[in-house]
Homo-oligomer: A and B are copies of this chain.
Amino acid sequence: MSKSDRKKLAIVVQGGTMDKLYCAFILSSTAVAMDMETHLYFTFWGLNALVKGAMEKAGLPATYKHLEEQMKKNIKRINYPTPYEMLKRLKQSELFKIYACSPTMQMFNVKQENLIPEVDEIAGAATFLEIAAKADITLFI
């Protein structure tokens, strides 16, 4: 399919907890399997999850903290990939791009060398809005 005919999915990933990361990556995996261009713009807690070593430690939000251990066990039992494993598989697709929010990096004092190598581009909100304005589906997770 030619680039211009492809459907496009654009997501702001603001959350950094396991449940939000799974939502972003499950939607992305399905989207690339459907031949959709998929763009994830990581900001705030999502950006912090792109710091080396952070995604492996992601847990559940305060409201659901008591379910965290059980959920992690279930995921292992059914051999479900971790969020970071899903991200690495997604990177095998040319349709998938991830962006790190530069204002968040300034706000949280995160340097480029602290980010995982899977990041495609460090960008401001204008980059996301330009992509999103042409996308068929836009979400804020």
Contacts and interface: CB of A to CB of B under 8 A. Distances in A.
Contacts of A135: 137
Q: How many copies altogether?
A: 3
Contacts of A54: none
Give chain A's interface residue range (CB within 8 Å of chain B): 35 or more
A27 interface: yes
A136 B137 contact: no
Nearest to A18: B44
Interface string A35-55: 010000001110000000000
Interface of A: 7, 9-12, 14, 17, 19-20, 22-23, 26-27, 29-31, 33-34, 36, 43-45, 61-64, 71, 74-75, 78, 80, 103, 106-109, 124-126, 128-130, 132-133, 135-141
